[in-house]
Amino acid sequence: MLSLVVLLPVAAAASLALARWLSDAVARRVWLAVAIAELVLVAALWAGFDAPKPGRLAYEEQVAWIPGIGSSYHVGLDGLSLPLVALTAVVFAACAAYALREQRRPRAQAALFLSLQTTCLGLFTAQDLILFFLWFDLSIVGMYFAIAGWGHGDAARSALKFFLYTFLGSLALLLGFIGLYVAAAPHTFDMVELTRNPPLAGRPVAAGLVLGAILLGLAVKTPTVPFHTWLPPAHTDAPAIGSAVLAGILLKMGTYGFVRIGMPMLPGAWRAWAWVVVAVGIVSILYGALVALAQNDLKRMIAYTSVNHMGYVVLGVGTAGLVARSDAEARTVAVSGAVTQMVSHGLITGALFLLAGVLHERAGTYDLDSYGGLAGPAPRFAMLLAVGAFASLGLPGFSGFIAELQVFAGSIAVAPVTAVALLGILVTAALFLRALQHLLVGATRGSSVGFTDLRAAEVWAVGPLLLLSLVIGLAPRTLLDVIEPAARTVVELVGR
């Protein structure tokens, strides 16, 4: 069942790639149909999900693959991965709906994004480090083609920068994985095994080095300050759906690695380095928000807010390592907030990037100063952008609040000094209201004149993302009941 969910998109992609006779219109619809089928399958997975006991997985499948090095095709779900699998299905479905109007090589684009969807689903379900790494790198390759092939502006250069930077990061990750493999007895790449018997328990220096390599790799992908500079150009020149997938899903591969690999497999080192992680989180929060405030390009601005938002995740997972200072409850809250933030950011920032794409599609620019009074010609766009902006600035009632309040509550309760990160939500509020002011209000002028309001497909792409964020914000239990037990498990694993 789980493998079907993972591999269905790539199978569809292969068919699309081979079916040269298929018309563009059909190709677009096939993509949407597969994306919706995935949505239904994932909903079924969620409905049948029974939170597994610590150390166990739901929907587990294991097939021998490369037995010589202790690597197998091993997949499964728990409370950390299921929300991200669901997020993947949702964001890709939104992208498929948005791309219904794509004119440039839609068949190839559909095939590419369907393959990309498999790499994302594969990564979040992978329970073997080699498998994980495979999907990690393939996602980079896929996104490279998405940016280079369908981007605009200086797309080739931005795509190359993205590829080289994150690929380099993945090499650090691979180094760390090999370190884990070598240190494990018996040698294995199996993530469940490595979690059960964490290697390098009594060797702090070696464990620190291995964790350092893994953290470096994940920090590039997340990205955290100071490894984030590939992100703004990649977003600025990426197509709208590329940005949505990049911010919505690919960044989560980094943060997911923290809770899936770094924390449970190297608990001692994680505790030793927790303050560094916390500091990086706080710096990312404040630095990302402040730099975003100074941007005049909407996409660059949203890109920097991603650095800010991922900072909350990093702060949350870092807090989990401050074991000596607190009770497990507060640390669980912080980790639960971090995982919630991954989902929340995927929904909200995905929606914002799709909306930003509309700006480029209509008027060819993301420059805030080129617009004004957009609410006049484009009231639907204005309303969705305003809702998305308020959701992104953490307004209660939306998912971001559920995530950020947990991160704050948990981390401040553990280490009061982290309260300085609260300033992040104030700066975020300022920068989003500033952007709304530039784009939407006042006299209709510049590129706003003659701006066509959102079309049905665009509303159907963006609306559900924000609606889901609202549902999570008002009724978070459905999500939190899945996340919280898993967060508790992670906190216990780190506390070993």
Partner 1 sequence: MSGAAWPEAALWLLAALPVVTGTLLCLAGRRVDALAAATSLVVATATFGLALVVAVERPSVSRPFMLASSLGLGVDGLAAITVVTVTAVALLVLAVAARQPGEAGAAPARFHGLMLLFLAAVVITVTATTLPTLLLAWEVMGATSYALIGFVWRDGARVTAGRTAFLTTRAADLGLYAAVAAALAGGAGLGLADLAAAAPGWRDVVAGGVLVAALGKAAQLPFSVWLSAAMQGPSPVSALLHSATMVAMGGYLLLRTAGLLAATGWAATAAAWIGALTALALGVVALAQRDLKQLLAASTAAQLGFVVLAAGVDAIAAGTAQLVAHASTKALLFLGAGLWLDALGTRSLAALTGAARRWRLLGLTMTVGAIALAGAAPLSLWATKDAVLTAVREVSPALYAVGLAAAALSAAYAGKVLVLVLRTIPAGAEDAYDDERPGTRRVDRLAQAPLVLLAAGAAALGVLALPPLAGSVQELVGGVAVPVDGAGLAVSAVLAVVVLGLVAWLVRGHRLPEPSWAGRWLGLATATRVVVVQPVYALAAGLARFDDSVLDAAVEATARGGLRMALRAARIDAVVDGGVGAVARGARRLGDLARRPQTGQLHDYYLVVAGGLAAAALVVLVTR
Give residues in contact with partner 1 (CB under 8 A): 161, 164-165, 226, 229-230, 287, 290-291, 293-295, 326, 329-330, 333, 373, 375-376, 379, 383, 386, 390, 395-397, 401-402, 405-406, 408-414, 416, 419, 422-423, 425-427, 429-430, 433-434, 436-437, 440-443, 476-477, 480
Choose between 130 and 413: whose C-beta lies nearer to partner 1: 413
Kindly state the smallest distance separating residue 83's Cβ from partner 1, in Å.
15
Choose between 427 and 454: whose C-beta lies nearer to partner 1: 427
Kindly state the smallest distance separating residue 293's Cβ from partner 1, in Å.
4
Kindly state the smallest distance separating residue 255's Cβ from partner 1, in Å.
20
Kindly state the smallest distance separating residue 259's Cβ from partner 1, in Å.
19
Choose between 422 and 456: whose C-beta lies nearer to partner 1: 422
Choose between 128 and 484: whose C-beta lies nearer to partner 1: 484
Kindly state the smallest distance separating residue 323's Cβ from partner 1, in Å.
15
Kindly state the smallest distance separating residue 375's Cβ from partner 1, in Å.
6
Bridge-based pairing of strands 71-77 and 58-66 is antiparallel
Kindly state the smallest distance separating residue 429's Cβ from partner 1, in Å.
5
Cβ–Cβ < 8 Å for 4, 98: no
Choose between 122 and 476: whose C-beta lies nearer to partner 1: 476
Choose between 342 and 413: whose C-beta lies nearer to partner 1: 413
Q: What does the buried/exposed string (b/e) look like for 56-80 if buried means 16 or more CB atoms within 10 Å of the residue's CB?
A: ebbbbbeeeeeeeebbbbbbbbbbb
CA 310 from centroid of its chain's CA atoms: 9
One-letter-per-residue 3-state SS of the chain: CHHHHHHHHHHHHHHHHHCCCCCHHHHHHHHHHHHHHHHHHHHHHHHCCCCCCCCCCEEEEEEEEEHHHCEEEEEEECCCHHHHHHHHHHHHHHHHHHHHHCCCCHHHHHHHHHHHHHHHHHHHHECEHHHHHHHHHHHHHHHHHHHHHHCCCCHHHHHHHHHHHHHHHHHHHHHHHHHHHHHCCCCCCEHHHHHHCCCCCCCHHHHHHHHHHHHHHHHHHCCCCCCCCCHHHHHHHCCHHHHHHHHHHHHHHHHHHHHHHHHHHCHHHHHHHHHHHHHHHHHHHHHHHHHHHCCCEHHHHHHHHHHHHHHHHHHHHHHCCCHHHCCHHHHHHHHHHHHHHHHHHHHHHHHHHHHHHHHHHHHCCCEHHHCCCCCCCCHHHHHHHHHHHHHHCCCCCCHHHHHHHHHHHHHHHHCHHHHHHHHHHHHHHHHHHHHHHHHHCCCCCHHHCCCCCCCHHHHHHHHHHHHHHHHHHHCCHHHHHHHHHHHHHHHHHHCC
Choose between 205 and 324: whose C-beta lies nearer to partner 1: 324
Kindly state the smallest distance separating residue 145's Cβ from partner 1, in Å.
21
Kindly state the smallest distance separating residue 330's Cβ from partner 1, in Å.
6
Kindly state the smallest distance separating residue 232's Cβ from partner 1, in Å.
8
Choose between 55 and 416: whose C-beta lies nearer to partner 1: 416
Choose between 363 and 412: whose C-beta lies nearer to partner 1: 412
Cα–Cα distance measured from residue 375 to residue 261, given in angstroms and rounded to the nearest whole number: 46
Of 199, 163, 198, 168, the closest CA to residue 183 belongs to 199
Cβ–Cβ < 8 Å for 376, 451: no
Choose between 138 and 330: whose C-beta lies nearer to partner 1: 330
Choose between 174 and 480: whose C-beta lies nearer to partner 1: 480
Kindly state the smallest distance separating residue 275's Cβ from partner 1, in Å.
18
Kindly state the smallest distance separating residue 474's Cβ from partner 1, in Å.
8
Choose between 205 and 443: whose C-beta lies nearer to partner 1: 443
